[in-house]
Structure 1
Amino acid sequence: METGTDVWNERVARGYDESSGHMYVPEVLDPAVDFLARRAGSGPVLEFAVGTGRVALPLSARGVRVAGIEKSEPMARELRAKPGGGDVALTIGDMTSSRAEGAFSLVYLVYNAITCLLSQEEQVACFRNAALHLEPGGRFVIEVFVPDLQRLPPGETARPFHVGDRHVGFDTYDLAAQRMVSHHYTIAEGRSSTFLSPHRYVWPAELDLMAELAGLEPSERWAGWNEEPFTGSSRSHVSVWRRPPDTP
């Protein structure tokens, strides 16, 4: 994962899979891999902010040619150390500007990674970089939450997003700046740890405008990887944009 601050350090990278264990369970991970594999077809795919390979590795295990861009070297080392990690063509760099070799049928960002870019300008640059990597007709997929502002009572600035036996997480909002901070409290191997990550939340309509600026056209929007209909009450979305086939 990427961010404008150096939060994805060695300590966080070593504990990332444990703290994100709820994202590895089959009922969460398998639909994402299925969805992406179907959109990739027979072409290669590129994951921005590939992290420790939660999605990239099972995609690669299915025979999909997977490349990744990752800013955090500690996270990249965790990926490389895993079985199959060497099969993912990895580029160390920023997803707003770094280039991976080749053209791709699919570029994707999962688990709210677009919000780790802390300005609108960076998020627009990410869309443009994705478009540059796509072959004609290729798709750009983003999984991201819908800002939870409707559920904030007047005067409150915090909302929980996960409560488990070994992990509790809540977000705090700065509404004027369109910023939030995710607070993670994790118990692993008898020890507790705290992790704070800053984000810039973004609305679906704003993402559509970013796609248009990058020369991409809307293709699909779902409430989740199982292709549930997206509605006004959806708390997340999986959105797909396409590079037009006739783009020079």
Structure 2
Amino acid sequence: MWDDETAEHYDTISAEKFAPEVLGPTVDLLARLAGSGAALEFAIGTGRVGIPLAARGVPVTGIELSASMAARLRRKVDEATLPVVVGDMATTAVPGEFSLVFLVWNSISNLRTQAEQVACFRNAARHLAPGGRFVVELWVPPLRRLPPGQSAVPIRTDDRHLVLDTYDLATQRCTSHHYWHEADGTVRHGSGEFRYIWPAECDLMAQLAGLEPESRFADWDGSPFTTDSESHVSVWRKPPRATDQRPATC
């Protein structure tokens, strides 16, 4: 689905995610977590987050499956400013160690099997320096809104954009159906398939990758994650080397 046409319109149809009140807290938290180290973004897309993070002085490298999306990013910044490797986030390796690896806006769900998602966690861990952090932003599936016998949940219903998500509870598969009402009166349809992951399942994937849970928020602003939260920003840490751990003092 991430072809030339999608890449060309991606920034426009995702305009709300570029709003300062959305993007600002995202970059603020990621910059704090990166500290003085470098960051690696899986599924960097057109650079919505990676470019402003690099502008903060954090060295950023990206991995992106879609050559079309990567080409769109390249119109904004050059290779020296933000290098990007075209490849999948479950297996692609880039040189160096990073203090931060991150995935935003549900991107890990583009991996449509549990095995691929586990491999993504392991790939993140391989790229992290000891003490480094892996951050994932992900939605919580709204399955409580599904009555018996119903498989679709309305996600967005404004005048220009309708989104319906259909769920297969047996396989944890989700298909997002998007309908855009164009200015000329026509309706454009697009869909994408995903595999949803529960927060506790993410924690188990992190454990399999040798990562330890550090924090979980409802959003990038640090608001508490609760039973009613519709999304989460989760942080796991790669344990520091034994030599990096200072003994306790009296």
Q: Which runs of 5+ in 2 are unaligned?
A: 244-250
Gap runs ≥5 in structure 1? 1-6
Where does residue 197 of structure 1 map in the other structure?
192
C-alpha displacement of 1:195: 1.6
* Superposed CA RMSD: 1.6
Contact 1:18–1:188 (CA under 8 A) maintained in structure 2:
no
Q: TM-score, normalised by structure 1?
A: 0.93
Note if 1:169 corresponds to 2:163.
yes
Give the greater-gyration-radius structure (CA): 2
- Could you say which residue in structure 1 is the equivalent of 2:104? 110
Q: Which position in structure 2 is the counterpart of 1:129?
A: 123
Provide the C-alpha distance between the structure 2 equivalents of 1:193 and 1:86, rounded to a whole number of angstroms: 37
CA distance in 2, matches of 1:39, 1:147: 27
Deviation at 1:83, TM superposition (A): 4.3
Q: Distance in 2 between matches of 1:57 and 1:161?
A: 28
Report the Cα offset of residue 206 of structure 1.
0.5
Number of the residue aligned with 1:26: 20
Query: Is 1:239 aligned with 2:230?
Result: no
Query: Corresponding residue for 2:140?
Result: 146
Which contiguous aligned blocks of 4+ residues in structure 1 show a shift greater than 3 angstroms? 83-86, 163-166, 187-192
Contact 1:51 1:76 in 2 (8 A): yes
Residue identity in the other structure for 1:40:
A
Q: Tell me, in whole angstroms, the C-alpha distance in 1 between the residues paired with 2:162 and 2:16.
A: 11
Provide the rounded CA distance (Å) in 1 between the counterparts of 2:97 and 2:113. Answer: 27
Moved more, 204-213 or 159-168: 159-168
- How far residue 148 of structure 1 moved from its aligned partner, in angstroms, is 0.7
Distance 1:221 1:73 in 2: 32
1:100 and 1:187 map into 2 onto residues whose CA distance is 41
Q: Contact 1:161/1:170 (CA < 8 Å) preserved in 2?
A: yes
- Per-residue Cα deviation, 1:184-231 (whole angstroms, up to 9, x for no partner): 223466564322110000001110000000000000000110111111
Helix, strand or coil for the counterpart of 1:161? Answer: strand
Farther-moved stretch of structure 1 (112-121 vs 77-86): 77-86
With 163-172 and 19-28 compared, the bigger mean Cα shift is at 163-172
